[in-house]
Structure 1
């Protein structure tokens, strides 16, 4: 506000003294009000611009979140589609393997035919392949031990001969489990016990593995008392089965003694005993003695 200009304007109107002072004060007050209103407009404009910038930023952030979510959904959908393709490919591979095996058996059967057209007996040629009405095994989501038990119960209910079990199980395998089956020799692939043992080893479901599960098991969230007890009982049964122990008091006693004997030895001797897997505590001590004598050692490291 320029007071000199206001005073000059007042004098130009012929004012002086009190009249000039009142004129200057009124005109000065009007100028200050205009300046204040101008400042208020500028402040409102700045606030509006700031709000607009914030809205723009929020909108960009919201779009980024939506785009990120959409990209994640797309990635999950593509991954699921790829997984479905892998499962289909594995199922097709298992089917082709089985068809090739059946074709080979048919060719062998023709070659063994007698002059009169009669086929010579051959146990493998009578293996009947059936498509089990069970979902395929997926190593990422299924427990192999539980799946095999389910398969065995189903096979028993269908009254399949055990010689039919391997080929029927192969039609249900995918991923790593199918790789195990495809890498077995023909003889091993037709022996259910050998196939099952190979699968259990591949997924580390061994006697030592179930022993560790039994010793470290804790109730899971939402698991009832009877369910937890049943799970512990299953771990113990599988430990005994895979350790080839007897489900008797003496058999369980021998199994526990072998475990404690091995755990109490030095690391080298314990590894030596686990590699040889003695079936009784007596056999374990008979193996341990020559080992210690040859090395001049003791049961524990000193």
Structure 2
């Protein structure tokens, strides 16, 4: 009897494939076991190819690991599979194997598989209905995760209490009003490995969809936040807010950058430390998120309002200087 697979049994570890279809983790349950079939001088490569073609995966991703007596065991050498390519495929698979020279499929032939591969055994109509329900649940969970935000301030002066963290409450107030759930992550030391590790854990272990840091984006040696983002996403968008001559004064780097990165579906944002800059940055972020912008456009939107603020500030200073001369 085919097992009934509830959509809630699918653990939500998935990605969108290159053709925009969702794939789920096999979670190390990668074996297909076919019992009570006849095997006589069988070419195992032909067997593996028949299975691969039926499951719509590359032929080099299926390996026969056991073939003896009336038992055939195959390993699917993938981390993820598309459930829609599995649902109700048992009879199709048996038919494909029956066409391989030396393989005999009978009424007694059975297929055993676990985890996501278990979708092969499910009735086609029931499987498609359950898969639709599962995708809806997954979409709802993903939507909830996307609105879970955690905020980290950086710097020893915040950790020691010398400086009050006004940025986290500012960000929380702005995002909560837009329907996000915001958690204060606490302060982080200016250590690139520590920052990268905490940010990664916030996404992979704690299930946050947006991770925001404040501070540590400057040009001094101690500023490590943007570099931490680049450790997590080598293609992070890190535009310059201002550029300097490296080595001039305390400038160990060639400028001030903000950062927007991605890890899977999660977003990481590195903002400056001054509260007035956080205020305008977070508003730009909210507007960009509402517009569905990717990391590049988000980064340019944020750095754009910061550059304008800096330009306005310098223009005001020049005007005041002329007024006093």
Q: Name the TM-score class by shorter chain.
A: under 0.3
Which structure has more relative contact order (CA 8 Å, sep 6+)? It is 2
Q: Report the TM-score when normalising by structure 1.
A: 0.22
Structure whose alpha-carbon radius of gyration is higher = 1
Q: Report the TM-score when normalising by structure 2.
A: 0.21
